[in-house]
Amino acid sequence: MLIGVTMGDPNGIGPEIILNSFQKGEVRKDLVVIGDYQVMDFCNRLLQYQVPLNRIVDLDQKEEGKLNVFDLGLLGEKDIEIGKVSSKAGFAAKKYVEYAVSMALDGKISALVTLPVNKKAVRLTDPHFTGHTEFIAQLCGQSGYAMMLASEKLTVAHVTTHISLSQVAKSINQGRIVEVINLAGDAMQMLLGRKPKIAVSGLNPHAGEDGAFGREEIEEIAPAVKEARNQGWEVEGPLSPDTVFLKAYRGEYDVVVAMYHDQGHIPVKLLDFEGGVNVTLGLKVVRTSVDHGTAFDIAYKGVANTKSFVQAFSVAEKLSKQKGRAQDR
């Protein structure tokens, strides 16, 4: 089982996180970095990690015990602008992902772990870029997907993500909510080895208070919960957004289905900012990601925390193994 890791924005903390975690033995050695060899080599020398690197342009060139870097040859050492937004870096970071997804779709890697890109940098050459999740789904030719943030303290799947708050209520519908409940349920069942306990958050204050603060709970969310329950899921909702995450944190639920981006992101990042993992549900490929950005302010200083990457790698391994077992049945 070979895990592919995209290097992320070359001007950010991606390269040092990979090198540091590899050096400390926090991730399995059998991985391949998809990126630029010169960038990885520069970071390795600058921060004196002394990680043995192996430049490859074909997976047959991998060497055991070394950090194998699949070199796309897009950037050289002279192109690195530490901590800065750069069109070159943004373009390269997007290309790393594109190539890695093609490797996953071709079965050359069993899972994909992505390091952070900078959306502003990517949009300098692709104005329509909204994020990793949407881009990877597009490359896979899929529309039925969802974002899940997983941590040891709280796990949340999202009905909507990168849209404005003014669009959220219009995007909440029974079919989409049922879809996310199913995606989250399937993923958690693979990770836990049992059917999960699922909570579904309301959209409005106090879950609408019987229609006093909005009718989305009555017209869309409650019917979706009923439908999912009829499908066999252990699911409750709509529950008040101001208490449901606390209940999940205390162990009453394994996963919460949130209605929009910040409703789910804020509690996860508050409880476990450094250990959260972004999992894309419903894709043809297994994809996880760190739950933080490029952190330009601390890039190439050797202080970036590796916990989220290590967790993302671990979750990718688990999901990949379970997916493989399911395909063998």
Is 70 exceeded by the pLDDT of residue 325?
Answer: no
Non-local CB neighbours of 242 within 8 Å, separated by 6+ positions? 205, 206
Angle, vertex CA 22, rays to CA 21 and CA 27, nearest 5: 75
The residue whose two tokens read 């997916």 is 323
Nearest 5°: the CA angle 253, 244, 250 is 50
What is the rounded CA–CA span in Å between residue 64 and residue 84? 34
pLDDT for 192 equals 93
pLDDT at 131: 87
SS (H, E, C) 253-270: CCEEEECCHHHHHHHHHH
Residues 26-47: what's their mean pLDDT?
A: 95
CA distance from start to end of the chain:
18
Mean pLDDT of the chain: 94
CA 161, CA 259: separation in Å to the nearest integer? Answer: 8
For the ranges 100-104, 218-222, 288-292, the lowest mean pLDDT is seen at 288-292
**pLDDT at residue 326, as a whole number:** 57
pLDDT digits (tens, 9 = 90+) for 301-314: 999 999 999 999 99
pLDDT above 70 for 280: yes
Is domain 1-142+283-329 in CATH 3.40.718.10, yes or no?
A: yes
Model confidence pLDDT, tens digit, residues 78-91: 999 999 999 999 99
pLDDT at residue 50 in the model: 95
Q: Which of 291, 296, 318 is nearest to 149 (CA)?
A: 291
Residues 6+ apart with CB under 8 A from 297: 83
Task: Report residue 286 as tokens.
Answer: 């297994």
Which top CATH class is 144-279? alpha beta
Average pLDDT over residues 222-243: 97
Where along the chain do its domains lie? 1-142+283-329, 144-279
- Does 49 have pLDDT greater than 70? yes
At 68, give phi and psi (nearest 5°).
-80, 125
The whole-number pLDDT of residue 252 equals: 98
For residue 69, report the phi and psi dihedrals to the nearest 5 degrees.
-115, 115
Give the integer Cα–Cα distance in Å for 178 and 228.
6
Asked whether the predicted pLDDT for residue 327 surpasses 80, the reply is no
Tell me: pLDDT of 157 over 80.
yes
Q: What is the pLDDT of residue 291?
A: 86
CA 36 to each of CA 27, 45, 62, 194: distance values in angstroms, whole numbers, following the listed order: 20, 15, 15, 41
Q: What is the pLDDT of residues 168-224, one digit of tens each?
A: 999 999 999 999 999 999 999 999 999 999 999 999 999 988 899 999 999 999 999
* Token pair recorded at residue 43: 């970071």
Q: What are the CA-CA distances from residue 139 to residues 4, 100, 283, 291 (Å)?
A: 16, 10, 10, 21
Domains 1-142+283-329 and 144-279 share a fold: yes
**Distance separating alpha carbons of residues 255 and 266, to the nearest angstrom:** 15
7 and 35 Cβ atoms separated by less than 8 Å: yes
Give residue 29's pLDDT.
78
Decide if 312 contacts 288 (C-beta within 8 A): yes
Q: Among residues of the chain, what percentage have pLDDT more than 90?
A: 88
